A and B are shown apart, each in its own frame.
Chain A
């Protein structure tokens, strides 16, 4: 079974440029998360989807960040315009439904590492 797939793995852009990250969750997983991981820090939630509905986007900086999960399967996270402080790893995770279910297990992708120059 394929795991959570993210692309691109690495992206280098200049500040003020746009960037987009793509995530394909494990087949059948209704819940999808985007987490931000700064260097030396733990993952911090940006947005959580239940199917196509964003149920928690309180930590998403909506002035420059946007996300979509139109058909309740794959998802795109966009930053426009990027700032120097956006340099980080953007992790996508999925779970069968509602949090991690009874075991709390989230399945993570390898992440997309963004460098803003």
Chain B
């Protein structure tokens, strides 16, 4: 079955880069996502990557996908205090399948 694992906590200083890692088990996953959850709010899609891609860049965000190791990472450049939130990795077998979420990584950015 599908399973998504993430490290639980990451602390960085403002201006540094943050790297949040995720591993997944289902090699059939074709879509991988990063969602952000701020306190007291629902989840919001940050970015996504298709399994036929190795990398995707979107402004300060860079997603790297290693299909062989089933490893996904999210790099946030020039991390700001407003980036403090919980980041969830998610996978689906197709863009029309139900998403399976990881437990989330809490990112704390200190001034």
Interface of A toward B, CB cutoff 8 Å: 4, 33, 40-45, 48, 56, 91, 93, 97-106, 108-111
- The 12 listed contacts between A and B (C-beta, < 8 Å) are A33-B98, A43-B43, A44-B101, A45-B100, A93-B42, A98-B95, A99-B97, A101-B95, A103-B45, A104-B33, A104-B48, A110-B40
Interface residues of B in 70-104 (CB under 8 A from A): 88, 90, 92, 94-104
**Set of chain B residues within 8 Å of A102, measured between Cβ atoms:** 95
Distance A10 CA – B101 CA, assembled complex (angstroms): 24
| A41-B103, A41-B104 known; A100+B95 contact, CB < 8 A | yes
Interface of A is mostly: loop
Which of B8, B95, B97, B101 contacts A43, CB < 8 Å? Answer: B101
The answer to whether B42 and A103 touch across the interface, beta carbons within 8 angstroms, is no
The answer to whether A99 and B96 touch across the interface, beta carbons within 8 angstroms, is yes
Which of A4, A99, A110, A111 contacts B99, CB < 8 Å? Answer: A99
A69 CB to nearest B CB, Å: 16
Distance A108 CA – B44 CA, assembled complex (angstroms): 7
A37 CB to nearest B CB, Å: 9
Distance A40 CA – B48 CA, assembled complex (angstroms): 23
**Set of chain B residues within 8 Å of A100, measured between Cβ atoms:** 45, 92, 95-96, 99
The answer to whether B104 and A42 touch across the interface, beta carbons within 8 angstroms, is yes
Which of A42, A91, A97, A99 contacts B92, CB < 8 Å? Answer: A99
Interface residues of B in 1-32 (CB under 8 A from A): 4, 8, 31
Among residues of A, the one whose C-beta sits closest to the C-beta of B41 is A110
Provide the B35-52 mask, 1 if CB < 8 A to any CB of A, else 0: 000001111110010000
The answer to whether A98 and B42 touch across the interface, beta carbons within 8 angstroms, is no
Among residues of B, the one whose C-beta sits closest to the C-beta of A50 is B96
**Set of chain A residues within 8 Å of B102, measured between Cβ atoms:** 42
Distance A99 CA – B8 CA, assembled complex (angstroms): 26
Among residues of A, the one whose C-beta sits closest to the C-beta of B101 is A42
Among residues of B, the one whose C-beta sits closest to the C-beta of A38 is B103
B20 CB to nearest A CB, Å: 13
